[in-house]
Structure 1
Amino acid sequence: MIVPNLTELVALRGAVRGLSLTVRRPALARLQGGHCSAQRGRGLEFEEVRLYAPGDDARNIDWRVTARRGRPHTKLFREERERPVWLVADLHPGLFFGSRRQLKSAALLRTAALLAWTAALGGDRVGAVIADGNTEPRIYPPRGREKGVLPVLDALVTAQPLEPGLPSPDGLIAAVGMLLPLLKPGSLALLLSDFSGLDQATEGRLARATVHSDVRLFWITDPIESKGLPEGSYRVGLPGRQWWIDGHRSRIPWRELWQTHEQHLTAMADRLGLPLNRLSTHETALETLAVLLKKPSGTL
């Protein structure tokens, strides 16, 4: 199967017209818990220091500059109108797998690119935390327009797995842990993963992320994971570690393991009130996101 390249991900910019990250569709997302406003978060960002003037808020006096210069100075802030949107990509080697249309890793990259372009064209700043399952996750600070999107897309292409490998249980928790101190009130975090590394510690970190930010989950799946193998014998495994498996005999325990994982993930999303959006390799990312993120008719 062909892996996405930077040219393909950049070209997806033209496919996101009519999509908006302010839209939350209950049809394909589990929406429970507290109300989340579509309005962007607002913050104050430091701009400069100037001489104190009558009427200035005394709480904004810069005491260090005042002491150094011998005259009272105050800090000036500007309102931050661009919402930081963080893409959190869990690109472990186990995603180099797909039974239909595309690899799970390819589905993740294409979904991330569409989300990034939707955010940037909507006036938001785009940043990312990208984990490849082998090295420490890398951070790309939020920036506006193409300056934010292009470095993230390039990093995603570089980080995607290029051969089969074992899933990494640590990439997800490491990525979420790195995200936590970066979140500002009103931030939007879009977490893309197959959640094979989900555990209680990861849930705890996600719970902390939801306190002041909007967090949404994008679950990358493949049809064979839920249905099991068809009739017949199949050689499975990794290079150097392969064996034969019978499709009929393996189907019941296979489905039981999948149902346990599915129940664990959906129960966590319910407890935390997080939208859980499921994307499958047998559909294009645009087909799914067009339903999830399409603007209501009549909006600009």
Structure 2
Amino acid sequence: METSELLKKVRKIEIKTRGLSKNIFAGEYHSAFKGRGMTFAEVREYQYGDDIRSIDWNVTARFGHPYIKVFEEERELTVVLLIDVSGSREFGTVSQLKKDIFTEVAATLAFSTIQNNDKIGVIFFSDKIEKFIPPKKGKKHVLQIIRELIDFEPESNKTDIAGALRYLTNAIKKSSTAFIISDFIDTNFERDLTIASRKHDVVAMQVYDIRETELPNVGLIKLKDAESGERVWVDTSDKRLRTTFKHAWGEGQLALQKAFTKSGVDLVSMSTSDDYVRALMKLFKMRA
């Protein structure tokens, strides 16, 4: 992309998403994520009304009556965006591609982060780590992130969410809030998701297209897998095929939701035809 065109796109994204983060999400972001980064302060005796999940079982066993761990809020939060840059992000049949939603959601979160004086970093991943931008503060840093979101060209079209989660766990030493922005067209990442969520506050943001949920009845069409490049002819006039396709999507979503619930990770889904502002509001209210 030419420099002048890129700068115009960056400016357009900046105006829209900075306004959203400042006027709509400033308070919601703070209440949803501030205080999630906690440091250990002390151990004290259990008092009526304390959260039993905070009980320190080792100390309790030693003294014969319950003690709890007390944590205090860290003043500074570190936010990490894990951005899926695999081939399937180029898909979209309504008004926007999935990658357009990825970009605007990520930019909105980035501006919300710096307005709260927090650090933000980005991990771009396919089936490998394509690029890592270490967490920093400041508008200049966020604009660099937005430029990469718009113009980044990955080396691979495939996906490995497990690998991205392992990189997060190893590269970010301090407990952080991590947003995975992806369509989650992948499998076998539950174990690494659970490990990552023990160290970090992980939030999953799924972006999908309506045509991934059901096929229209438009006769014989050729479909291409954006990640493998494989092409197949499909007869969409076959009602049984359309029903099977829709059922497979539903089963996949149930499995995805189950995996995130089991790992203690919040999941919010949005389609390319949805208003992502509503999805973000839903996420913030879910965590308030």
TM-score bracket, normalised by the shorter chain, equals: 0.7 to 0.9
TM-score, reference length from structure 2: 0.73
Structure 1 residues 124 and 156, CA gap change in structure 2 (3 angstroms) = same
Alignment of 1:174-189 (within 5 A): 174-189=163-178
Larger RCO: 1 or 2 (CA < 8 Å, sep 6+): 1
Structure 1 residues 236 and 166, CA gap change in structure 2 (3 angstroms) = farther
Indicate the residue corresponding to 1:97 in structure 2. Answer: 91
Indicate the residue corresponding to 1:268 in structure 2. Answer: 259
Q: CA deviation at 1:160?
A: 5.6
Q: CA deviation at 1:252?
A: 2.0
Secondary structure (helix, strand or coil) at the match of 1:21 reads helix
Matched AA of 1:169:
T
Indicate the residue corresponding to 1:255 in structure 2. Answer: 246
Structure 1 residues 128-187: Cα deviation after superposition (integer angstroms, max 9, x where no partner)? 111145x633111111121431222222222267xxx996132x2222121112334541
2:217/2:237 contact within 8 Å kept: yes
1:184/1:213 contact within 8 Å kept: no
Q: CA deviation at 1:115?
A: 1.2
* Structure 1 spans left out of the alignment, 5+ residues: 25-36, 45-78
Q: CA deviation at 1:196?
A: 0.8
1:13 maps to 2:18: yes
Cα distance between partner residues in 2 of 1:251 and 1:188: 39
> RMSD between aligned alpha carbons?
3.2
Alignment of 1:131-142 (within 5 A): 131-133=125-127, 136-142=129-135
Structure 1 residues 197 and 23, CA gap change in structure 2 (3 angstroms) = farther
Structure 1 residues 22 and 227, CA gap change in structure 2 (3 angstroms) = farther
Indicate the residue corresponding to 1:30 in structure 2. Answer: none
Cα distance between partner residues in 2 of 1:273 and 1:267: 10
Matched AA of 2:76:
E
1:237 maps to 2:245: no
Indicate the residue corresponding to 1:84 in structure 2. Answer: 78
Q: CA deviation at 1:214?
A: 0.8
Largest Rg, 1 or 2: 1
Matched AA of 1:244:
W
Point out the structure with the larger helix share: 2
1:169 maps to 2:174: no
Indicate the residue corresponding to 2:122 in structure 1. Answer: 128
Aligned residues: 242
Structure 1 residues 228 and 177, CA gap change in structure 2 (3 angstroms) = same
TM-score, reference length from structure 1: 0.70
Matched AA of 1:266:
Q
Q: CA deviation at 1:272?
A: 1.0
Q: State the percentage of identical aligned residues.
A: 24
2:123/2:129 contact within 8 Å kept: no
Secondary structure (helix, strand or coil) at the match of 1:229 reads coil
Alignment of 1:23-38 (within 5 A): 23=31, 38=34
Cα distance between partner residues in 2 of 1:248 and 1:276: 34
1:118 maps to 2:112: yes
Secondary structure (helix, strand or coil) at the match of 2:166 reads helix
Matched AA of 1:251:
R
Cα distance between partner residues in 1 of 2:230 and 2:194: 38
2:125/2:164 contact within 8 Å kept: yes
1:105/1:160 contact within 8 Å kept: no
Cα distance between partner residues in 1 of 2:251 and 2:225: 24
1:40/1:186 contact within 8 Å kept: no
Structure 1 residues 295 and 272, CA gap change in structure 2 (3 angstroms) = closer
Matched AA of 1:234:
I
Indicate the residue corresponding to 2:141 in structure 1. Answer: 148
1:131/1:159 contact within 8 Å kept: no
